[in-house]
Structure 1
Amino acid sequence: MSASKLEFGIEMELYLRPKHPGLENMMKSHGCLAKGNTREQDRKAFRMALTDILEPDIPTQCDVTGNYLKWTVADEDLDETEATHGYFPCEIVSRVLDSDGNWDEEIDNMFNALLHNYDLLLTRGCAMHVHVSPHNGTYTLSQLQSILKAALYYERALAVIMPAERKDTPWAEPNMRMIRNCEKNINKVPQTTWAPVFNEIDNCKFIPTLLAHVNCSKRQVSWNFSNVVNPCGTVEFRRPPGVKSAADAKHWAALTMGFVAEAMRQDWKAVRTTKTHPSTDTLRSVITRGARSLGSPVQAVLNPMLMADINMPATVLSVEERQKIKQKIEKKAKKHSVFVENVINSRPNTPVGHK
């Protein structure tokens, strides 16, 4: 039996460089590379030119306008290094998409246009984020409790299938670190079972109480619940790495939706008395079942190779790197992501599913 369909949006951080002189001329027509320009002015002109390239085939806007029916080319403060000279950092943000719609074709069309016109570069700081919400509705307390249980229960397995730079990053920390006593209780699972962890979640009888328990003051966590009660109404998965192909982007979107769909269907009473952490094989089965419940195209675009175990340690950041990331996080603390901003501004009094 198919699960209720979902709505979602993706945010992709990347660098782009024009492939031919005609694109540079288009950028210059928007004021790019003019004498005396700041880097910010050049980046703005680049985004305007990129929007012009995409708009004929893909409804696209430059920067946040509050239109959730268009894709967005937005600015993104990525780590620019010597290797990125000639490239422009940006964030490509989808419109609101339906899990049973032609979203896979939209992502294909976007990457076809990008790769035809631009060289694409990823750095360690690039990532992809996926926002998910119920179709034509909002999450119930029970659904949110189930997703949070899944986020905690499968954290260790999820870290194993992530590339080194996304196993443990300040941009998407494990949720257990944000919840009081949670990491301590999870470390005691072999002695005390999952019951103490799940009891804390079940004791939250209202959504605001649950969100306070999750500690939504910081959104740089693996599963971000901070947008649940605003008009966006999404849970955001921030763990995926940067992507440079449509196939990779579609996989991470499908993985997120499959995980969320199955989390909401899982019998958590059967898990609470266990004393072990699930294996990566179990996690892969969960994602696959959830994707299958949503039907095509979600189940069709999952890539088993991108769910394989990656048995290497997490990337170790230097003190300087961590300090830079901390400063960026503080700078973004009061801002919504681009996808969330578009949805909130376009529908200030309605949930994400209402169109």
Structure 2
Amino acid sequence: MASPLKFGVELELFLGHKQGKSPYKSWTDLADTLSRRLTRAGVPNHVKKRGVKETYKDWSLMREMTIGEDTMNALYGIELVSPVFDARQSQWVVDIQSIYRVLDKHFTTYESPKCSTHVHVSTSPDALTKEEAANLAAAVLYYEPAIDTLMPAHRVATNSYWCRSNRVSHMFAGIESVQGIQTIDGYVQFCKAEHRAGRPIPVSPSPSGSLVGLDTALKIVRACHEGGEFGMDQAMNWFSASSAYGQTKGMTPDFVKGKVYKWNFDSLYRSKDAPSKDGTLEFRLPPGSLCAEDAGMWVSLAVTFVAGVLASVHLNDFPSPAGSGASVYELKVLLEHGRTVLGWQDLGLLQDQLDQLEQLQL
């Protein structure tokens, strides 16, 4: 890991007034009130204005359209986007605790399956190498089942749209549709030729409905990396031009659409040659955070995972056959290593959750 990790967190919330208090008349009314209370609590922030570019130097309050609003009950969807934090420092913990103290005292936070917590991790000002990006991609695939055990069922459901498994990336799923190709390298070469010609990889008329095998996905990642034609954004976040979304947008070749996968590699790339110095790997799987402990757990999971992978994992480290992927114990070892690299004292609530889940797997 060439430089210290940095990260930002996005907290999607469904908020309303405290019982016994006057309801908010509009989203702007709620946002302005929250902004004032956060400022008084020592959390620098602003309400985002349309057309103004974000600098990520303080917290930004913005309307979250995917949550929506319930005007009859004066409930509104809002997203709190953090400044860029240095993972070696504890200011993020202070901020998150202050934010939720304000929310607990002055607002009612409602649970909603439309809410989520996203964490962006970067190595800025240095860029990831192509090999590091491939190592992260392989780790995302291998550790997926263990990470899933930490999540509520609706976030890992097969019909989840905004946080689907990276193993349904069309780069992996397309292999079931291509006939007459005997090797993984041959399949990736076929994808290369089709993509250069502006043609999509075929979609099977009778899809199996199951995820492509983990071994196959890992081998495709390795072949994409070694062949040099496809970045990990394409390997992990490819979308079919034949999909309903692709047809609506008039796409001809397959394309990257990272914001619907558990891990979004699209944000790592500003050009298709290599990851950029200001790129981020976005972890999109966690649900909305109803308390500071939840938000802290999801930040800890994403940041220590990336730190652990970059410090200790290589593309060829994963066992073959990889079976069903990592156990909770393997995930815990990786996160502990990441914690050590970052200089953190512990994993907080995440440690307790991992210990409990590990006991269930024994």
Aligned with 1:130 (options 97, 119, 135): 119
Does the Cα contact within 8 Å between 1:51 and 1:60 map onto a contact in 2? yes
User: What residue number does 2:318 align with?
Assistant: 271
| Superposition TM-score, scaled by structure 1 size | 0.72
Structure 1: gaps spanning 5 or more residues: 28-32, 34-41, 311-355
Q: CA deviation at 1:129?
A: 0.5
Secondary structure class of the residue paired with 1:239: coil
1:243-291 superposed Cα distances (whole Å, 9 cap, x missing partner): 1111110111011011111122213323253442222221222222212
Q: CA deviation at 1:237?
A: 0.2
CA 154–139 in structure 1, closer or farther in 2 if over 3 Å, else same: same
User: What residue number does 1:250 align with?
Assistant: 296
1:110-165 superposed Cα distances (whole Å, 9 cap, x missing partner): 11122121111121111100000014322221111111111111222222332101
Does the Cα contact within 8 Å between 2:69 and 2:75 map onto a contact in 1? no
User: What residue number does 1:59 align with?
Assistant: 44
What does residue range 111-190 of structure 1 map to in structure 2 within 5 Å? 111-168=100-157, 169-181=160-172, 187-188=212-213
Q: What one-letter code is carried by the residue in structure 1 that aligns with 2:220?
A: V
Q: CA deviation at 1:50?
A: 1.5
Does the Cα contact within 8 Å between 1:16 and 1:120 map onto a contact in 2? yes
Q: CA deviation at 1:81?
A: 7.9
User: What residue number does 1:205 align with?
Assistant: 228
Aligned with 2:58 (options 70, 77, 101): 70
Aligned with 1:226 (options 243, 250, 266): 266
Q: CA deviation at 1:21?
A: 7.4
Secondary structure class of the residue paired with 2:109: strand
Secondary structure class of the residue paired with 1:260: helix
Secondary structure class of the residue paired with 1:269: coil
Secondary structure class of the residue paired with 1:240: coil
The 2-side partners of 1:83 and 1:242 are apart by: 21
Secondary structure class of the residue paired with 1:108: helix
The 1-side partners of 2:171 and 2:68 are apart by: 36
1:48-76 superposed Cα distances (whole Å, 9 cap, x missing partner): 22212212311111025413111011101
What does residue range 1-355 of structure 1 map to in structure 2 within 5 Å? 4-19=3-18, 33=25, 42-56=26-40, 57-63=42-48, 65=52, 66-79=54-67, 85-102=73-90, 103-168=92-157, 169-181=160-172, 187-188=212-213, 196-205=219-228, 209-214=231-236, 215=238, 216-230=256-270, 232-264=278-310, 265-271=312-318, 273-276=320-323, 277-296=325-344, 299-300=347-348, 302-305=350-353, 308-309=356-357
The 2-side partners of 1:99 and 1:62 are apart by: 25
Number of residues of Structure 1 aligned to a counterpart in Structure 2: 293
CA 257–3 in structure 1, closer or farther in 2 if over 3 Å, else same: farther
Q: CA deviation at 1:241?
A: 1.0
CA 239–84 in structure 1, closer or farther in 2 if over 3 Å, else same: farther
Q: CA deviation at 1:19?
A: 2.5
CA 307–89 in structure 1, closer or farther in 2 if over 3 Å, else same: farther
Q: What one-letter code is carried by the residue in structure 2 that aligns with 1:9?
A: G
CA 136–209 in structure 1, closer or farther in 2 if over 3 Å, else same: closer
Q: Which has the higher contact order (CA 8 A, sep 6+)?
A: 1
Secondary structure class of the residue paired with 1:67: coil
Does the Cα contact within 8 Å between 1:194 and 1:273 map onto a contact in 2? no
Does the Cα contact within 8 Å between 1:68 and 1:95 map onto a contact in 2? yes
Structure 2: gaps spanning 5 or more residues: 177-183, 185-210, 239-255, 271-276
The 2-side partners of 1:76 and 1:112 are apart by: 21
Q: CA deviation at 1:79?
A: 4.5
Q: What one-letter code is carried by the residue in structure 1 that aligns with 2:269?
A: V
Residue range with higher mean Cα deviation, 124-133 or 42-51? 42-51
User: Pairwise CA RMSD of aligned residues?
Assistant: 3.2
Q: CA deviation at 1:227?
A: 1.3
CA 135–300 in structure 1, closer or farther in 2 if over 3 Å, else same: farther
Q: Between the two proteins, what is the percent identity of the paired residues?
A: 24
Does the Cα contact within 8 Å between 2:2 and 2:126 map onto a contact in 1? no
The 1-side partners of 2:355 and 2:122 are apart by: 23
Secondary structure class of the residue paired with 2:269: coil
The 2-side partners of 1:306 and 1:195 are apart by: 25
1:71-111 superposed Cα distances (whole Å, 9 cap, x missing partner): 01110124558798232221111111111112211111111
The 1-side partners of 2:330 and 2:33 are apart by: 46
